[in-house]
Amino acid sequence: MNQILRLIVFCAACVMSPGAWAANFKTVVIDAGHGGHDNGAQWGKIYEKHLAFDTAVRLENRLKQMGYKTVMTRRSDYFVSLPRRVAIGNSHKNAIFVSIHYNYTWKRHVTGLETFYHSSEGQRLAHFVQGSLLRQTRTVDRNAKFARYYVISNSAHPAILVEGGFVSNEEERERMKSGDYREAIARAVAEGIDRYRRGF
C-alpha cells in the first residue's frame, strides 16, 4: 500500500512538472530551410530561403554566445538535399536538430507561429521553443505539433522544425522583412533551446 502511494505521488510529480529534467547535449545543428533553386515560400521578391538563412545565422550567433557548439547544414544560398541535411545532423553526437522555416498558405488571413516535432524528446524541445516564441513575438499560437517532415522524422536527435510566420500574410510579411523581427525569432529559439537543456 505504501509503495502504491509512493508510486502515485511520483507519477503526479511527473505529470505536474513535465519539464523538470535536463537534457544532455552540446551541439545544435541549425538547418536553414531551402536554398539555391529551392526558394521555399515566395511573395514578390520575399523568399523564404533568405529569411530562413538570415534567422539561422542570428540563431547561430546567439547560441555561440551562450556557449553552444553549432553546425550549419548550409552556409549560404545553395541547394542541400533533405537526406544530406539529415546526414550532416546525424554525423554529430550529443546534438539536437533545429530546422528554420517561414510559412505559406493560399488563405492570406492566416497568421502565427508553429513548431513541429516527431519524437517525444522533440516534443519537449518543441514546447520550450514554442513557448519562448510566443513570449518574444506576442503573436498567434499555432502550437507545437506532431508532423512527419523528412528532416525531423529521420533525425537521430531531438529535432524540431520552426515556422516563423506566414510569408502569405501581409502583416507578418512586413514584420519579417525587419531584422528586429528575425532577431526576435532567433532570440526566442535560442532561449527555448537553453530552457530545454536546463529542464525548466
The footprint of Zn ion (CB under 5 A) covers: 33, 40, 101
Q: How far is CA 67 from CA 25, 61, 109, 115, 126, in A?
A: 12, 10, 39, 24, 21
Q: Which is nearer to Zn ion, 143 or 199 (CB)?
A: 143
Q: How far is the CB of 177 from Zn ion (least distance, A)?
A: 17
Residue nearest to Zn ion (CB): 101
Nearer to Zn ion, 38 or 121 (CB): 38
Min separation Cβ 151 and Zn ion, Å: 10
**Shortest gap between Cβ of 49 and Zn ion (angstroms)?**
8
Task: Give whichever of 104 and 187 is closer to Zn ion, judged by the CB atom.
Answer: 104
Give the nearer residue to Zn ion in terms of CB position, either 18 or 83.
83
The DSSP line for 61-106 is HHHHHTT-EEEES-SSS----HHHHHHHHHTSSSEEEEEEEEE--S
Q: What is the Cβ-side half-sphere exposure of residue 124, based on CA atoms within 13 angstroms?
A: 19
* Least distance to Zn ion, CB of residue 99, Å: 8
d(CA 89, CA 30): 9
